[in-house]
Structure 1
Amino acid sequence: MSIIEKAASRIDRQRSNAVAVPVTVTVPADSADASLALSDREPVAVLEAPVAVAAPASAHTAAPDVAAPAAPAAGGARANPRMVDLDLAKMRDMGMVTAAGGRTTLLEEFRIIKRPLLKRAFGERAEGEMPPNLIMITSSLPGEGKTYCAINLAMSIAMELDHTVLLVDADVARPSVLRTLGLPAQRGLMDILVDDKLDLSDVLLRTNVDTLSILPAGTSTPRATELLASSTMSSLVTEIANRYPDRVVIFDSPPLLLTSESRVLASHMGQIVVVVEAQTTTQHAVKEALHKLEGFNNVNLIYNKTRDIPGIEETYDYHYG
């Protein structure tokens, strides 16, 4: 049995038990056959606690209507990043991570998930390695909760005292970050890659969470794969990764088995997280998705949408006596 088959088999075993058990996959840089190595002890970026929650039903439905592009700043001057307000109360009601949501099971799970990712993001970087503060969230197929996980991971990291977060909607064929957050479509990533007169600050959205900014997907284009593979994209991700020393960049990527954009995007990333839907994703889909990432370092899995574990309460309540 190959390493990839072992990983998929382990996921299938946990499905029958209806509990969330971590699965971590890493790709050694010096692997002769570029196979994925399953490691239970201190892999490069261990996701030790999977996400035991379901994504909102609306998170992966139809693509949003594309809003008309905003007019450029008068006189060609660079505009300051625009401000948008996240409805934090609504996000909390949707089961998302918010600072005011109290100490929930979800919050604790993402605290555990983010810690090794942050350690890797700001650890030593090997020569020629992609910036490890660039983290791509993807899945095998739509509907597995990747956007939900990307938003929650970004919100959790935004609660850190020493880090800021940029959440990039890179699922350019089916953008859903803004829609999930209840925001209208805006110019964004694709517009920067098409129009060299646009600057990141022209399309960046600041939020009422001081440490969180959003880069929308922007205007849909049939040339998305070529644009993501371009030198302009390479320059952009380098700028995004290095502009601020405390920044973590979360990319919500297209599913691996539906588009070519996801593998192209992965070539720019320092860390990759694959969301696997419990009780639904097949071994075949997992193996095919992991094959798409052969040759990439720091590939990890989040086991998502598991049923509630008996005895675990929704909120924590500590008593000392």
Structure 2
Amino acid sequence: MKQMTSIEKAVNRLVGKPGAEGTLASSKLPGDAAEAFSSHSDASAEQKKLVKLDRPLMAANSLLLPEMGSSPLADQFRRIKQPLLRRLDSQSGSNALSNVVMVTSSLEGEGKTYTSINLAISIAMELDRTALLVDLDVVKKSVVSQLGIAVDPGLSDYLINREVEIANIIHSTDIDRFKLIPAGNAKQIEANAELLTSEKMKAFLLELSTRYKDRVIVLDTPPLLASSIAKGLAFMAGHLVMVVEAEKTSSTIISESLQYLDGSRFAGFVLNKTNLASSKDSVYGSYG
């Protein structure tokens, strides 16, 4: 891959760049967040009704299902998740966000939601892991559409309505150990987009990470170059995964995106839309 030379240079510059001062991982809880920490109920208060996923639609969307454990798709995501999980385990307890993974891309259409869903389901297929997928792309709400479900309340409802608690927006699905926080009412959030990078949002992610330490929290966010929100969210996650569309996204675009990331949080790239026959190229970059 000829692109790799310039991309690797950009990654090297990124990893050598110091983290942003005052990011969530090293900051103290603001007053409102500390209050929220003590007021929310625990996992026992989560939504009890199982959300039934549309499996035929998921199959049509090339999404992973537990019964596909021996398929090429399952193997691809197994090779993506394993080094990522080793990274998470090695940093467990080192900061409050060590179990939070943000999945993003430079532009729309590169496959970040596809990757987020499949990564979360693949993690849930581990016998000792639970995955919590959070849809932060609150305008498009692509996660629920690809899963073929309609479920509320969601993230935007929690951010806007003080009466909605975190446990109220965590939905269990009919895939074991795969839980979901949907985007919620996008129309509410469109007029209050700053809520997604607010102190309440920081407190929300910090509480998710701390209260549910046994879960891998996967964030599906807007693309970096299409949304200022994604740039802010990049400093609210413990690990960053960048999805790149094979043979289309230029190294210039990738390098521009990397400028907005904290090198200490950067986990690696996922090369999407490659031929399964050459699946060895489906992942590149460093998860070290």
> Do the structures match in fold with TM over 0.5?
yes
* 1:25/1:301 contact within 8 Å kept: no
Equivalent residue for 1:251? 219
**Preserved contact between residue 27 and residue 297 of structure 1 (Cα < 8 Å):** no
Q: Out of 228, 234, 241, which is 1:266 matched to?
A: 234
Instruction: Tell me, yes or no, if structure 1 residue 195 matches structure 2 residue 161.
Output: yes
Aligned residue runs from structure 1 range 1-321, under 5 A? 6-7=6-7, 27-28=14-15, 31=17, 80-125=47-92, 129-184=95-150, 186-220=152-186, 221-294=189-262, 297-309=265-277
What is the CA–CA distance in structure 1 between the aligned matches of 2:130 and 2:46, rounded to whole Å?
Answer: 21
After superposition, the C-alpha distances for 1:112-148 in whole angstroms (9 at most, x for unaligned) are 1101211222223575x45121001111111111100
Please say if residues 137 and 250 of structure 1, whose CA atoms lie closer than 8 Å, have aligned partners that are also in contact: yes
Q: Which residue type is aligned with residue 281 of structure 1?
A: T
The 10-residue stretch of structure 1 (221-230 or 276-285) with the greater mean CA deviation from structure 2: 221-230
The structural deviation recorded for 1:26 is: 8.7
Moved segments of 4+, more than 4 Å: 24-27
Per-residue deviation at 1:6? 1.9
Structure 1, unpaired ranges of 5+: 11-23, 35-77, 313-321
Larger radius of gyration: 1
For residues 12 and 52 of structure 2, the distance between their equivalents in structure 1, rounded to whole angstroms, comes to: 37
Q: Match of 1:292, SS?
A: coil
Seen in structure 2, the aligned counterparts of structure 1 residues 93 and 219 have a Cα distance that, compared at 3 Å, is closer
Separation in 1, partners of 2:137, 2:223: 8
Q: What is the number of equivalent residue pairs in this alignment? A: 252
Residue 111 of structure 1: CA displacement?
0.6
Which deviates more from structure 2 when the two are superposed, residues 247-256 or residues 278-287?
A: 278-287
Report the residue type matching 2:234 in the other structure: A
Query: Would the aligned equivalents of 1:190 and 1:224 in 2 still touch at CA under 8 Å?
Result: no
Once the two structures are TM-superposed, the CA of residue 287 in structure 1 deviates from its matched residue by: 1.4
- Contact 1:8/1:286 (<8 A) preserved: no
Q: 1:79 to 1:9 in 2, by over 3 A?
A: closer
**TM-score for both structures, normalised by structure 1:** 0.70
Cα distance between partner residues in 2 of 1:80 and 1:177: 18
